[in-house]
Amino acid sequence: MSAGDQARANPARATLTPLTKLTLMVLPLALLVALTELSLWALGLGGQRDLSRGFDRDAAYLLRVDGGWVTQIFGDPEREQRVPDKGATRRVLLMGGSNTEVFPERYLEDLLSEHAPDPSRPWELINLGRSGYGSGRVLILLEQALVLEPDVVVIYSGHNEFVERGLAAELDAALGGAAGRAAASGLARTRLFRVVEQALRPPQPAPELSRPAPELSPDDPAAREIPWSTTQAQWQVYRSNVAAMCDLIRAADVQLVLCTLASNHFTPPYVSSRAEPMPPEAWAAFDTARRAGLVQIPRPFREFLRPPLRLRLGSWIRGDGAAAAIDVEQLPPLRALSGPLADLRATPESKGGDATLAGWHWPPIAQWNAKVVAVLSAYERLVRRELAPPMEHSLRRAVAALEQALLLVPNDPDAHFDLGLAHWLLRDDVAAKHEFEVARRYDRAPHSANGISNDILRVLAAERPGVLLLDVAAQFAEHSQAGLVGYEVMMDACHLQPGARRALMGLLAPLVVEASAR
């Protein structure tokens, strides 16, 4: 029979379009995949794994061993912690990022023993803080860490919520760009893929899943494309993660102390952006007004702005010899502190930096690199605020120009910081604090907590009876001049100076005792 005879014998088949034929070919496969996904869902197999976080909920970060547990979060067997099975102790679990990792837990343990001694139930501190961990990682680790049977959990987390954008950039490079990452993420959403992947995965987590995520550089082109709406959405993810932690802890009948986080008001915003929908001429007018303001800020103070002077934790502890000749007695006193911070000297201990010495605050000078000296010199000029009359006139012109710039782009973090600095130098402390706070809120990818994140923590604690809140941000601001926390307390944007960590332990101990007594 010829093709024409076949068409006349089966006219319906002859009218099938190529799209219809393709649909008929794909439909059985789609039905098979759908039935497989439904079956795996019914069996509880192939749970979700988020490729964007680089941290796997299905991997074991606490492994059972004889007599207890051992962590799997450092990628180095010598650094992992062995936690014995719970005995007759009051066990306190510390969760968070790099600040938490270096909390002086032995000092806190001594304070707890002083506040609430009980030889039959000694205090036991377990520190699971880890550098680079944002709230998503902390939540995953907490889900597993509750097997350690803590009596109290302390959470100090909120500085690293935007750090893992660097991981997304790394994935883009590995997968051929954002489109490749999107395709991989789409495939990873299928339960069939996840069942196969889980079956092939080694029984212990790969080291790369436990390492800190790479940071997004403010000079990365991707940083300039972050709209304010994306920043707001990320803070909502933070809220969801911390809310989940709170509810998980309360459901386990464990007590919780939730902490706001202290940050350095005098560090410039990390990421600004040009992603807002504005015509080019509007951006040009903004740039003109902002430059007009910047040039009016006297040169001795302008170096604190652009390019910004930034310190990192390593700046204080990886010395290059540049500070070796500094006489500890010649260091600037900077600003006086009060309250629980009053006993902290804004000078390092010159005889080795023993953390048990009274008044010990900064790391030993021998550990500093040259950038610390440069920043402290600039900061000293900033806090002295010694202005000649012409400087005051220039600063008032700077204020006017920067206010004009912010009328054009109200949410530019850099312009708000510049304006805050001008107000500070003019000794208008209230206006300075407002602008510094707004600058931190509008930072598109901050490397520290800010008013948004701390307000989230305050609301979450208020909404949940029994959750104790330690408002570290408010207390440290209250006892810093003009309510502005600076390098007297902070090593960089987010890391506490060693003495400030000890002051924090003094604030924390009474709340841990109160929580454990419930």
State the Cα–Cα distance between residues 344 and 341, nearest whole angstrom.
6
| 264 belongs to a structural domain | no
Same domain, yes or no: 48 and 192: yes
Same domain, yes or no: 52 and 176: yes
| 416 belongs to a structural domain | yes
Same domain, yes or no: 195 and 339: no
pLDDT value of residue 496: 94
Cβ neighbours for 112, distance < 8 A, ≥ 6 positions apart: 90, 92, 123, 509, 512, 513
| 515 belongs to a structural domain | no
- pLDDT tens-place string over residues 460-480: 999 999 999 999 999 999 999
| 152 belongs to a structural domain | no
Query: Which tokens hold the place of 432?
Result: 């300075």
- pLDDT tens-place string over residues 267-314: 999 888 887 788 999 999 999 999 999 999 998 888 777 667 778 888
Q: How confident is the model at residue 201 (pLDDT cuts 50, 70, 90)?
A: very low
pLDDT value of residue 44: 59
Same domain, yes or no: 192 and 325: no
State the Cα–Cα distance between residues 102 and 345, nearest whole angstrom.
20
Q: How confident is the model at residue 28 (pLDDT cuts 50, 70, 90)?
A: confident
Same domain, yes or no: 290 and 382: yes
Domain stops at, among 384, 412, 442: 442
409 and 382 Cβ atoms separated by less than 8 Å: no
Q: Which domain holds residue 26?
A: 20-60+165-209
Same domain, yes or no: 175 and 286: no
pLDDT value of residue 181: 44
Q: How many CB atoms lie within 10 A of CB 71?
A: 21
Domain stops at, among 442, 458, 478: 442
Torsion of CA 96, 101, 106, 109, to 10 degrees: 0
Same domain, yes or no: 177 and 284: no
Same domain, yes or no: 300 and 429: yes
Q: Output 400 or 169, whichever has higher pLDDT.
A: 400
Place of tokens 């940083």: 223
Same domain, yes or no: 179 and 43: yes
| 158 belongs to a structural domain | no
pLDDT value of residue 175: 44
> Is it the case that residue 210 has pLDDT exceeding 90?
no
State the Cα–Cα distance between residues 358 and 165, nearest whole angstrom.
40
Q: How confident is the model at residue 170 (pLDDT cuts 50, 70, 90)?
A: very low
Count of the separate structural domains present in the chain:
2
| 361 belongs to a structural domain | yes
Same domain, yes or no: 391 and 285: yes
Longest dimension (CA), the chain: 106
| 433 belongs to a structural domain | yes
What SS3 state is found at 136? helix
| 382 belongs to a structural domain | yes
Domain stops at, among 178, 209, 240: 209
Same domain, yes or no: 204 and 339: no
468 bridge partner residues: 257
- pLDDT tens-place string over residues 431-462: 999 999 999 999 999 989 999 999 999 999 99
Same domain, yes or no: 191 and 309: no
52 and 39 Cβ atoms separated by less than 8 Å: no
Query: Which tokens hold the place of 288?
Result: 């003109």
168-192 in b/e burial notation, b at 16+ Cβ within 10 A? bbbbbeebeeeeebeebeeeeeebe
Q: Output 289 or 334, whichever has higher pLDDT.
A: 289
State the Cα–Cα distance between residues 75 and 77, nearest whole angstrom.
7
Q: What Rg do the C-alpha atoms of the chain give, in angstroms?
A: 28
